[in-house]
A = this chain, B = another copy of it.
């Protein structure tokens, strides 16, 4: 019923709805309406009340609320099922549990805070409460295990497009899985799959996006290499709006870009956003260190690196830094 009251207020955002209208439409007493208004106010919703005119929702707080997250979400698969946690170890770990027990594709796990947030290769990921988007999406794509990198590439492009649309910010992509801005990391993507060689049973895509973190919110040792939307744009953003935007862009990529006939186009978008393409870089790969010129990306998601001796090395995975510079990218 709380959700129904909230929905009515949202339908009339900035305008008054009379207590009587709410009471009649939802079939509850005026006293009950008042109870829910108080509840919503305690959660942070700025609601003006007037004995004559009724209630007016003035401002929506930046909280993870299922109504806010799903309202106006224009997807058919992603985010149709959402699990919200105020605090959790890691959204990827929870999403893997759900996937294993048969959760349908598109299920999303979101948390206000992660206490054991993880990045690629088991690295830690700082996810303080209320300041970022820490979420994981369960996918069941028709891909083989060789095509797993497509999922990360698709997600990076989706995040970039979503940030352009919902935060008016132009971001770059650093192969293989980082979304960057001004040479610093804004968002990390962590893809984990369970697969047979020829078919993925499920994939869990974790997205960690620094939204409203201030410079001080960032641990000292990563201030040189990390940033947030707030730091870059000088203002705060509503996380629910950005989440919806990401889910919408991801669904587009999921339905088209992952497929054989769509991936080449997706890779072009990825290349257009790449901050390393055409630059001299150093890659610390699984099989050693390589320095060279980032020449392009393979259809399998690999990086084609032209070494100084002219050979082209196909690199499946690794960490990248711009050669000769000390910055993160």
Contact across chains for A120 and B198 when beta carbons are under 8 A apart:
yes
Stretch at the interface among A36-44, A130-138, A189-197, A262-270: A189-197
A146 contact from B191, B199, B287, B300, Cβ within 8 A: B300
Interface string of A279-290 (1 = CB under 8 A from B): 000000011000
Question: Which residue of the partner chain B has the closest CB to A145?
Answer: B148
Contact across chains for B195 and A192 when beta carbons are under 8 A apart:
yes
| A317: chain B residues within 8 A (beta carbon) | 144, 197-199
Contact across chains for A148 and B194 when beta carbons are under 8 A apart:
no
| A193: chain B residues within 8 A (beta carbon) | 145, 193-196
A287 to B196, CA, bound (A): 16
Q: From residue 228 to 251 of chain A, which have CB atoms closer than 8 A to chain B?
A: none
- Chain B proximity of A124: nearest CB distance (Å): 15
- Chain B proximity of A193: nearest CB distance (Å): 6
- Chain B proximity of A137: nearest CB distance (Å): 15
| A1: chain B residues within 8 A (beta carbon) | none
Contact across chains for A145 and B195 when beta carbons are under 8 A apart:
yes
Asked if A312 lies at the interface with its beta carbon under 8 angstroms from chain B, I say no
Interface string of A176-212 (1 = CB under 8 A from B): 1100000000000011111111110100000000000
| A286: chain B residues within 8 A (beta carbon) | 142, 144, 198-199
Question: Which residue of the partner chain B has the closest CB to A318?
Answer: B198
User: Given A260-B287, A287-B260, does the pair A198, B121 have CB atoms closer than 8 Å?
Assistant: yes
A145 contact from B142, B146, B190, B318, Cβ within 8 A: B146
Contact across chains for A316 and B146 when beta carbons are under 8 A apart:
yes
Asked if A172 lies at the interface with its beta carbon under 8 angstroms from chain B, I say no
Asked if A152 lies at the interface with its beta carbon under 8 angstroms from chain B, I say yes
Q: From residue 146 to 188 of chain A, which have CB atoms closer than 8 A to chain B?
A: 146-149, 151-152, 176-177
Asked if A117 lies at the interface with its beta carbon under 8 angstroms from chain B, I say no
A65 to B155, CA, bound (A): 49
A197 to B193, CA, bound (A): 8
Contact across chains for A196 and B145 when beta carbons are under 8 A apart:
no
Asked if A301 lies at the interface with its beta carbon under 8 angstroms from chain B, I say yes
A192 to B316, CA, bound (A): 20
A316 contact from B198, B287, B318, Cβ within 8 A: B198
Question: Which residue of the partner chain B has the closest CB to A316?
Answer: B144
Contact across chains for B194 and A194 when beta carbons are under 8 A apart:
yes
A121 to B301, CA, bound (A): 25
For this complex, 18 residue pairs linking A to B, each with C-beta atoms less than 8 Å apart, are A121-B198, A142-B286, A144-B286, A145-B145, A145-B149, A145-B193, A146-B148, A146-B300, A149-B197, A192-B194, A192-B195, A192-B196, A193-B194, A193-B196, A194-B194, A197-B317, A199-B317, A260-B287
| A interface, CB within 8 angstroms of B | 120-121, 142, 144-149, 151-152, 176-177, 190-199, 201, 260, 286-287, 300-302, 316-318
In the A-B complex, list the 3 residue pairs whose CB atoms are closest, starting with the nearest.
A198-B317, A145-B148, A146-B146
